[in-house]
Amino acid sequence: MLRFGIRNRPRRLSKAMGRKEDGHGTGPPGRLERMTIIVNSLVRHERIEGSHQYMDEARGYTERLLQIAAQGDKNHEAMDVANYWLKDKDLIHKLFKVLVPRYENYTTCATRMWTLPVEYPGGKNKTSILELKGNPWPPVVPNPRNNSKSLINVLLHNAKKDYRSASKDGTPV
């Protein structure tokens, strides 16, 4: 079961594929071909940047790949799927030996997405970052400001504490 919201219908992504001669081919097979390339590079680099719709589509495929791979490299289905989705064969080793143990105890999904700011004048398409959690790169948002000592946060924190202690006693809040 995926741990993040997905669209009910897949994006078709048909126009950006190119013809079979100079691209990945049009239609569903070309779309899937393109997805394998994105998943492949995500597993290799652990953080990639690209058009939002492509990243969002590839995110689901990556999550499913990781979930199926969690059955282990002895599992026929898992190996078959990994063999199709990872065109660089050294990544199959990384998938089973590095990534599957990393996400073994995760209760959240294994990927994260960030929407990048639009540069003036901007187009209609958003650019996004797709990354695997627990990657070795520095965080996307550096040095997040610590607001825990601001007045409103202190008040909210204490209000929460009061609420919790009150509800533990059983007194109505």
Partner 1 sequence: MADKLATLGFRSFLSHQFLKRSVAAVSCRYANTLSNETVEKHRTSTLAHDKEQKEEKKISAPAPPGLKHVHPEFLPNPTFYRRDRIKEKLERQDMYRRRAVCPIPEFYVGSIMAVTLADPYASGKTNRFVGICIQRASYGLRANFTLRNVVDNQGLEIRYDMYSPLIQKVEVLRLEKRLDDELFYLRDAPAEFSTVPFNLEAVSHPPGAPVPVNTTKVKLGPRPWHERWERRNLRGVQDLGLPEKFYEKAKKVAKPWEEYDLMLKYRTSINPQETDEVMDEVAEGFREIERKRRREKLEKS
Q: Which is nearer to partner 1, 137 or 163 (CB)?
A: 163
d(CA 133, CA 114): 12
d(CA 71, CA 50): 30
Give min distance, CB of 32 to partner 1, in A: 5
Residues forming contacts to partner 1 in the complex (CB under 8 A) are: 1-2, 6, 8-10, 28-29, 32, 57, 60-61, 64-65, 68, 81, 84-85, 167
Q: Which is nearer to partner 1, 60 or 92 (CB)?
A: 60
Q: Which is nearer to partner 1, 65 or 91 (CB)?
A: 65
Give min distance, CB of 2 to partner 1, in A: 7
Give min distance, CB of 77 to partner 1, in A: 11
